[in-house]
Chains A and B, each alone.
Chain A
Amino acid sequence: MTGGGCGCTAEPAPRCVDGAVESGAGQVPRISTRWTWRDRLEHLRCRLGSFRNRYRRPPGLYAVGRPGRDTDVVVTANYGLSFDVVRRALRDLDAWLLVLDTRGVNVWCAAGKGTFGSTELIRRVEATSLGKVVAHRRLVVPQLGAPGVAAHEVQAATGFRVHFGPVRADDLPAWLRAGRVASPAMRRVRFGILDRAILVPMELLPALRWFAAIAAVALLAPLALGLGAADAGARAAPFLALLLAAVLAGAIVAPLALPVLPGRAFSVKGLVAGVPITAAALALAGPAARAPLLALAAMLGFPAVSSWLTLQFTGSSPFTGLSGVRREMRLAVPLQAAAVLLAALLAAAHALGERGAP
């Protein structure tokens, strides 16, 4: 068997394999285009944490429906979520699915790294004897694979002409029906509210882990200094509530409200979200937290935290470039650090003043 699975990894055949199709290069495993509840559960786990790093499929050739010698070959990455999105998009079609070994990374990221690239595509075309499976010489490569795949290199090495398909797998049927012609909308990357919402956990969950660590220190340190538990809790609570509000502002509110927040720099958007939310949290935090020095410290420090967290969302956004983020960080990160440092000094000054007074 030269086709799917390819035997080059120890990974078992995917659960979705439900048969086999004969081809000019032997049997090719056929995959279902349906998602099971288990698939959906795994997709959720991918969105939430490090499970995504282990969610991969064996590279190689797969069959969708009843493909023949003239059927199109769709190329994708061996990240399980990419694989699943593509196989579902092909549900009403016959297709060959050529899965590249990107070490479990999605198409766009892997293209940036070069693992979804000309070299791997050329190798995979040869390893699967694709020239014997199909009579035509066309490959459908996702447009977002283009940073790694040079169409002219692939054609020179294999004879296969690369047709860059739409950005989104869901547009594949319409693109194929139109004779492999993309509308301008199919060529554009969008970043709508659902796209942003699905990425929120990526920044939020690590931030909440930091928050938990800081909360543990803030609650335990006063205990270690000999304060009673109730006293320690009362001292830490306003600080922790404000910090949590700042995290929510920077990692949830700003990413969701991204297009409506003023400014182009993400750090500015995060700041704009952080200031009113910190002010509101401060208003709720009780009179002790509104002592002048403390209030000033809060209004400096917490929006800076929001600003920094929103800056991290540049990694999730599909329209921020290296030069832009570099420029933004040169200006924003020193200011954010200075604001947090100054806030800490003001809070310390307040604590000393409190101790000095009877």
Chain B
Amino acid sequence: MRYLSGVTTLRLEAERCNGCGRCVEVCPHGVFAIPDRRAAVVDRDACMECGACQRNCAQGALTVQAGVGCAAALTKAALSGRSGSPPSCGCDDGGGCCG
């Protein structure tokens, strides 16, 4: 299953990469590969902006505006006048985003 194309804020500065492979390890959607000692984005539109790669890139080569892709969280953020800041998951639950 695929969601919208061309929307992710993921950015890779390949020249900073030291090829450690953590991004390949943590990405749940197979966005990265290390074809030649440096990470490459091989499936950009699969990115769901969870932020795992950014958090685990010790070189600071990866940036993404991480957040939850959840309509309810965005609605809540908009209604409380915080639509500018990244919304956080408001539901303390055991499913889904929350799986």
Q: Which residues of A contact B (CB under 8 A)?
A: 46-47, 52-53, 55, 79, 81-82, 103-106, 108-109, 111-113, 143-144, 146-152, 164, 167, 182, 184, 187-189, 191, 195, 198-199, 202, 258-259, 264-266, 311-312, 314-329
Contacts and interface: CB of A to CB of B under 8 A. Distances in A.
Looking at A81, A189, A324, A329, the one whose CB has the most chain B CB atoms below 10 A away is A324
Given A315-B68, A318-B48, A323-B8, A109 B22 contact: no
Given A187-B25, A187-B27, A199 B55 contact: no
Contact of B46 (A266, A312, A319): A319
A189 to B, nearest CB: 4
B22 to A, nearest CB: 6
By DSSP majority rule, is chain A's interface helix, strand, loop, or mixed? helix
B4 A328 contact: yes
B82 to A, nearest CB: 13
Nearest to A322: B67
Contacts of A189: 28-29
14 contacts: A79-B94, A151-B22, A151-B56, A164-B25, A199-B95, A314-B71, A317-B97, A318-B48, A318-B99, A320-B48, A322-B66, A324-B7, A324-B8, A329-B71
Contact of A322 (B22, B25, B69): B69
Looking at B46, B53, B70, B91, the one whose CB has the most chain A CB atoms below 10 A away is B70
B12 to A, nearest CB: 16
A346 B54 CA distance: 51
Nearest to B52: A146
Contacts of B72: 312, 315
Contacts of A47: 94-95
A106 B93 CA distance: 7
A164 B71 CA distance: 29
Given A195-B99, A328-B4, 19 more contacts: A47-B95, A109-B93, A112-B68, A112-B97, A187-B30, A188-B30, A189-B28, A199-B96, A202-B96, A264-B2, A265-B4, A315-B73, A318-B97, A319-B29, A322-B86, A323-B9, A324-B8, A329-B71, A329-B74
Contact of B1 (A81, A113, A151, A191): A191
B50 interface: yes
Interface residues of B, number: 50
A82 B86 CA distance: 26
Nearest to A149: B55
Contacts of B67: 112, 321-322
A182 B21 CA distance: 13
A47 to B, nearest CB: 7
A111 B66 CA distance: 11
Nearest to A148: B55
A325 B95 contact: no
B17 interface: no
Contacts of A202: 93, 95-96
B88 A112 contact: yes
